[in-house]
């Protein structure tokens, strides 16, 4: 494994000079530089993902920012992903030691352990909890706008169907996958009735982000973090790359497009710093209020419905299914019926665990920073059940 970008002479950094065996220095474009490093005894990470994949977009900036040598490969479900994980999900990351990592939260946790410098996870109380909050919001709530803008606009749908073919090279697989994705919209709560409030949320998010990012930088200051990586899923892989929303983003939120550019092409020698003294910029608070107002109730309603199901489950049900029925929630006054995802509790646990691990003064600082944002309600929730990973599968802890 190669760790963080070093100073001068780190010849494995993307797009930098590469030392050949004969020590002839040649400039190679970014992707070639990674491939060029292969086969020299120091194996690269293998990243099986796709440009238009939400969760691939969350991991890719982390690999680049940490200066890790990797090859990005198309998703080979039959020969690699299914045999290694038993799941048809992307992305997966195979380490130089041939360990398989699946689930972007586990992947980023592992990368932070393996290559701690430069860091993605703040260690100061407020910034750390806020980073996990953004991850929860981006992974769980932002799926709604991302799927709506991809599948409810004809020009976006036409283009993504073509992209799916390019990703798989297989017309039937691409058509089946597209059908499954489009068919999932009502289960997520994305319907003609809820589309206006989903769009209203997105418009407000883009406006607030444009203000927040207008001085350059990232969510927590002049350095990217877990929070930015998570937000790249919906904002880059879907909204930026899809036809209709891509135009909308370029026309209405160019500052967000610049942030996407910074995220996808991190400068290896000057990673910057997060705000001093565990601070949050004044422009961050309206963003937390937006998350607290719209996303926190939806997330909590999902978790409550899951816990109600879990209360009455058969004692032998160790591993909850991905969805356990449906429940109703409300977004900006509009009722919404959604499938009840078990995974949402696992994601909320990440925020609660980060908070609980803090010393008392850290928890007080977080309470103060989040007071009356609505995000405080997420931290006030105490789950009755706990989920853990067994291999790549969610299971009830202690069973
Ligand atoms: N929680 C997982 C989600 C991965 C995921 O949903 N990936 C999408 C592509 S971006 C996928 O493979 N979906 C296939 C499906 O839902 O059947 C992660 O963070 O890695």
pLDDT per residue as tens, the chain (399 positions): 223 222 222 323 322 222 223 333 333 333 433 443 344 457 999 999 999 999 999 999 999 999 999 999 999 999 999 999 999 999 999 999 999 999 999 999 999 999 999 999 999 999 999 999 999 999 999 999 999 999 999 999 999 999 999 988 899 999 999 999 999 999 999 999 999 999 999 999 999 999 999 999 999 999 999 999 999 999 999 999 999 999 999 999 999 999 999 999 998 788 799 999 999 999 999 999 999 999 999 999 999 999 999 999 987 789 999 999 999 999 999 999 999 999 999 999 999 999 999 999 999 999 999 999 999 999 999 999 999 999 999 999 986
CB of 309 shorter than 6 A to ligand 1? no
Distance CA 105, CA 113 (A): 12
Distance of CA 232 to the CA centre of its chain: 6
Residue 191 Cα to ligand 1 middle (Å):
21
CB of 103 shorter than 6 A to ligand 1? yes
Distance CA 152, CA 206 (A): 19
Pairing of strands 393-396, 387-390: antiparallel
Mutate to test the pocket of ligand 1, among 54, 55, 345 (most ligand atoms within 8 A of CB): 55
Torsion of CA 178, 183, 186, 191, to 10 degrees: 60
Phi/psi of residue 45, nearest 5 degrees: -65, 150
The helix/strand count (H/E) of the chain reads as 18, 10
| Tokens coding 347 | 């994601």
Q: Is residue 1 part of a domain?
A: no
Protein residue closest via CA to atom 1 of ligand 1: 103
Residue 309 Cα to ligand 1 middle (Å):
23
Protein residue closest via CA to atom 12 of ligand 1: 89
Under DSSP, the state recorded for 17 is E
pLDDT at 168: 87
> Among 29, 61, 58, 63, which Cα is nearest to 46's?
63
CB of 104 shorter than 6 A to ligand 1? yes
Both 140 and 32 in a single domain?
no
Both 336 and 209 in a single domain?
yes
pLDDT at 2: 26
* pTM for this prediction: 0.90
pLDDT at 398: 83
Tally of CB atoms within 10 A around 286: 15
Distance CA 380, CA 18 (A): 51
> Among residues 48, 80, 114, which one ends one of the domains?
114
Mutate to test the pocket of ligand 1, among 51, 86, 89 (most ligand atoms within 8 A of CB): 89
Residue 339 CB partners (closer than 8 Å, separation 6+) = 187, 188, 323, 325, 326
| Tokens coding 50 | 């796709």
Tell me: the pLDDT tens digits for 220-273? 999 999 999 999 999 999 999 999 999 999 999 999 999 999 999 998 788 799
Under DSSP, the state recorded for 44 is P
pLDDT at 399: 67
Q: Is residue 13 part of a domain?
A: no
Q: Is residue 22 part of a domain?
A: no
Distance of CA 335 to the CA centre of its chain: 26
pLDDT at 15: 27
CA end-to-end distance (rounded Å), the chain: 35
Contact 156, 182 (CB under 8 A): no
CB of 85 shorter than 6 A to ligand 1? no
pLDDT at 36: 35
> Among 382, 295, 393, which Cα is nearest to 342's?
393
Residue 380 Cα to ligand 1 middle (Å):
28
Q: Is residue 150 part of a domain?
A: yes
pLDDT at 245: 98
> Among residues 114, 134, 156, which one ends one of the domains?
114
CB of 12 shorter than 6 A to ligand 1? no
Both 222 and 107 in a single domain?
no
Residue 90 Cα to ligand 1 middle (Å):
5
Q: How many residues does the chain have?
A: 399
pLDDT at 41: 54
Both 333 and 228 in a single domain?
yes
CB of 274 shorter than 6 A to ligand 1? no
Residue 55 Cα to ligand 1 middle (Å):
6
CB of 48 shorter than 6 A to ligand 1? no
Both 155 and 95 in a single domain?
no
In terms of residue numbers, what domain contains 330?
125-269+276-396
Protein residue closest via CA to atom 5 of ligand 1: 89
Tally of CB atoms within 10 A around 180: 10
**Given the CA of residue 56, which atom of ligand 1 is nearest to it?**
10
> Among residues 47, 81, 114, which one ends one of the domains?
114
Please tell me the total count of domains within the chain.
Answer: 2
Q: Is residue 8 part of a domain?
A: no
Both 67 and 132 in a single domain?
no
pLDDT at 269: 83
Gyration radius (Cα) of the chain, Å: 21
Contact 47, 70 (CB under 8 A): yes
């Amino acid at each position: 494994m190669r760790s963080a970008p070093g100073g001068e002479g780190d010849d494995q950094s993307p797009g930098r000079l590469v030392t050949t065996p004969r020590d002839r220095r040649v400039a190679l474009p970014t992707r070639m530089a990674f491939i060029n490093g292969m086969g020299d005894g120091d194996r690269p990470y293998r990243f099986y993902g796709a440009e238009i994949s939400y969760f691939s977009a969350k991991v890719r900036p982390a690999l680049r920012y940490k200066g890790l040598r990797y090859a990005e490969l198309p998703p080979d479900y039959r020969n690699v992903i299914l045999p290694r994980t038993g799941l048809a999900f992307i992305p997966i990351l195979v380490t130089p030691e041939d360990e398989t990592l699946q689930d972007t939260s586990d992947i980023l946790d592992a990368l932070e352990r393996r290559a701690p410098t430069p860091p993605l996870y703040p260690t100061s109380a407020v910034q750390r909890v806020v980073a996990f909050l953004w991850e929860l919001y981006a992974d769980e709530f932002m799926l709604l706008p991302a799927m709506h803008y991809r599948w409810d606009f004809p020009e976006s749908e036409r283009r993504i169907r073509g992209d799916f073919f390019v990703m798989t090279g297989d017309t039937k697989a691409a058509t089946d996958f597209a059908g499954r994705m489009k068919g999932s919209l009502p289960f997520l709560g994305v319907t003609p009735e809820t589309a206006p409030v989903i769009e209203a949320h997105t418009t407000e998010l883009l406006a607030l982000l444009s203000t927040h990012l207008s001085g350059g930088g990232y969510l927590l200051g002049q350095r990217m973090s877990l929070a930015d990586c998570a937000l790249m899923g919906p904002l880059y892989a879907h909204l930026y790359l899809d036809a209709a929303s891509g135009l909308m983003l370029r026309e209405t939120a160019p500052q967000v497009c610049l942030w996407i550019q910074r995220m996808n092409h991190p400068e290896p020698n000057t990673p910057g710093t997060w705000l001093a003294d565990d601070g949050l910029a004044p422009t961050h608070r309206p963003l937390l209020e937006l998350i607290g107002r719209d996303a926190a109730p939806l997330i909590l309603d999902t978790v409550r419905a899951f816990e109600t199901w879990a209360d009455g489950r058969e004692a032998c049900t160790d591993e909850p299914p991905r969805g356990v029925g449906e429940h109703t929630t409300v977004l900006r006054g509009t009722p919404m019926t959604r499938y009840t995802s078990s995974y949402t509790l696992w994601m909320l646990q990440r925020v609660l665990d980060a908070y609980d691990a803090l010393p008392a003064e850290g928890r007080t600082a977080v309470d103060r920073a989040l007071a009356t944002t609505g995000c405080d309600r997420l931290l006030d929730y105490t789950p009755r059940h706990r989920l853990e990973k067994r291999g790549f599968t969610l299971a009830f802890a202690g069973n």
